[in-house]
Structures are given as structure tokens and as C-alpha cells.
Amino acid sequence: MKTKNKLLTGLGLHPSAMSSTISMCAKQIFDGGFPSIAGEYLVQAVQLIILLLIWKSLSGDSGAPGGMELNQLMTYTLMATVLHPQLNIVSSATSALWEGSIIGRFLRPVPVEISFITETIGRKWIPSFFLFGLPVWLIAPLFGIHTGPASAVMGIYTLFSLILTASLGFAIDLLFAAFAMNLKNGCFIALNIRNAIYALLSGEMIPFALFPWDLGSIFSLLPFGSIAHAPLTLYTGGTEQPLLIIGLQIFWNITLWALAIIIFSKSKERMVSFGG
């Protein structure tokens, strides 16, 4: 155990500091911030209901649009909502740059990149899962929505895919934070560009199978397609080549993490931040 802790510490990973940060951030939601989070959950719930109604209205005797089965499409949309924090990772990296609080993170006993990851897990993943994702997942069968994976094997593939999805999401988030630094605190510009790209290219809201002119096949090869499209397609059994999807995720993880580390490190030299 001591050897393992020394190895993690040598890599800049301090388990106690990381767990403390996650715990502290998870508790902050009850320090006056719950009403704003509850509003966000309400918007997600309304969006889920609207999408489910749209899929039902568009489905006919031939099934759901794009050749997908209606149950498959409903499960895809449900899990996109339940796993939204993991599929659309927005850490505090860009907002901290705008607020000036990013300066304090350089004084913590963990690398600044790890600080953003642990904060995101504590502040967004844990509250969202227990206060929104899990209740929605448990209630969905009452409305005739299948909540389980297509098969046990696909469930295992999905678990590995989600780990790769989260990793890739943090790499992309770090790249956009570096982009904001190079814009001299153009934080809102970076966030708007990021949101527009995610909405179209990740497959979280609209499955790639519904895209015309075979655009979905092209988008699935891009790094954004390895974020939401990959795990949701595996979960619903929408592919006969799960290993190809996971292999593509591994490729993009290696490529984008290498770029993120280099570009973020270079961008810190150009960082301009006040306040905090």
C-alpha cells in the first residue's frame, strides 16, 4: 500500500487530497446552490419528455426514424439524460479562468488538471446521479421505457466505453480551457463554440442513425463521436462492432490527451487572470 501511495504521489496524484476535494465539492450543492441545480434538473427532465414524445410521434408501422427500433431510441435518449454529466463534461477550468480563482489551484498539492477533474466529479457527477439520474432511471420503466443494456456483454462494453468517454471529455475540456487562455480570457466565446460543436457532433441529443446522407457514419469517426455516440450505441446494442468503437475511443484518448497536456502547458504561459 505504501509503495502504491508513493507511486501515485510521484505522479502528482494524492489520493487523500483528491478524495477530500471530491467530498467537499459534493457537499457544496447543499450550501445554498441547490435551487439553481434543481432548475437545471427540471430543464433536463422537460427536454427528455419532449424528445420522447417526438420519437413516439415520428414512429410508425415501420419503426422509429433512421431504422432504429422505438424502444432502442427511447432507451438511447433516456441514458443520454441519465449520463449527461459524464457525456458532456464541463469542468470549472474555463469559468475559473474568468473568475480569477484558477490562480489558487496552482497552490494546491495536486496538479491543476487533476484539481479540475476531482471538482467536476464531486460537484456535478455525484449530486446529478443521486438527485436526478438514478430517480429518472428507476421511474422510466413505469412509462414503458427499457432501462437495461441490450445484453450483459454490451453492458460490460458500455462500462469500459464510459471510462474512455469521461477521460476523453476531460481532455477536450482542457483543450477548450487552453483555447480560452489564448483568447485572453475569451471564456464565453470558447464555451459557446464548445456547446455548438457538442450539440451537433457528439450524438447526445440526436442519434447519428437519424442523420441524413450518412453523415452519422462520418461524425462517429470524429473525437466528439467517441463521447456520447459510442457508449449510448453500445448500451442500446446499435452496433455489431463494439471493439471497433472502443478501439477508436482509445485512439482519440491517446491523441487528444497528448495534445491537451502539451497545449495546456504552453497556454499557461499566456494566461491572464485577475481576482480569485
Residue with the larger pLDDT of the pair 253 and 55: 253
Q: What is the pLDDT of residues 111-140, one digit of tens each?
A: 778 888 888 888 788 888 888 889 999 999
Q: What span, in angstroms and rounded, lies between the C-alpha atoms of 199 and 195?
A: 6
- Checking if the pLDDT of 5 tops 50, the result is no
Q: What span, in angstroms and rounded, lies between the C-alpha atoms of 195 and 113?
A: 21
What separation in angstroms does the CA of 259 have from each of 69, 111, 163, 219, 253?
Answer: 39, 17, 19, 20, 10
Residue 115: exposed, middle, or buried by beta-carbon count in 10 A (0-12, 13-18, 19+)?
buried
Most confident range (mean pLDDT) of 5-14, 183-192, 256-265 is 256-265
- Checking if the pLDDT of 8 tops 50, the result is no
DSSP code for 95: H
Identity of the amino acid at 57: S
What's the pLDDT at 123?
79
Q: What is the pLDDT of residues 156-205, one digit of tens each?
A: 999 999 999 999 999 998 888 888 777 766 667 777 777 778 877 888 88
What's the pLDDT at 276?
46
Q: Are 257 and 167 in contact (CB under 8 A)?
A: yes
Other beta carbons within 10 Å of 142: 7
Q: Are 247 and 162 in contact (CB under 8 A)?
A: no
List, in sequence order, the alpha helices (H) in 129-272.
134-139, 152-182, 187-201, 215-219, 229-235, 242-267
What's the pLDDT at 62?
55
What's the pLDDT at 43?
86
Mention every residue, 6+ apart, whose C-beta is less than 8 A from residue 151.
Answer: 237
Q: What span, in angstroms and rounded, lies between the C-alpha atoms of 135 and 84?
A: 14
- Checking if the pLDDT of 267 tops 80, the result is no
Other beta carbons within 10 Å of 126: 17
Three state DSSP letters for 117-128: HHHHHHHHHHHH
Q: What is the pLDDT of residues 34-45, one digit of tens each?
A: 666 777 788 888
Query: Whole-model pTM?
Result: 0.84
Query: What percent of the residues of the chain are helix, what percent strand, and what percent coil, each to the nearest 5?
Result: 75, 0, 25
What's the pLDDT at 4?
43
- Checking if the pLDDT of 59 tops 80, the result is no
Average pLDDT over residues 215-242: 90
pLDDT band at 9 (very low <50, low <70, confident <90, very high): very low
Other beta carbons within 10 Å of 32: 8
Long-range Cβ contacts of 180-183 (<8 Å, 24+ apart): 180/94, 180/97, 180/98, 181/97, 181/267, 181/268, 181/270, 181/271, 181/272, 182/267, 182/270
Beta bridge pairs of residue 63 = 60
What mean pLDDT value characterizes the chain?
80
- Grid coordinates in use for 143? 412509462
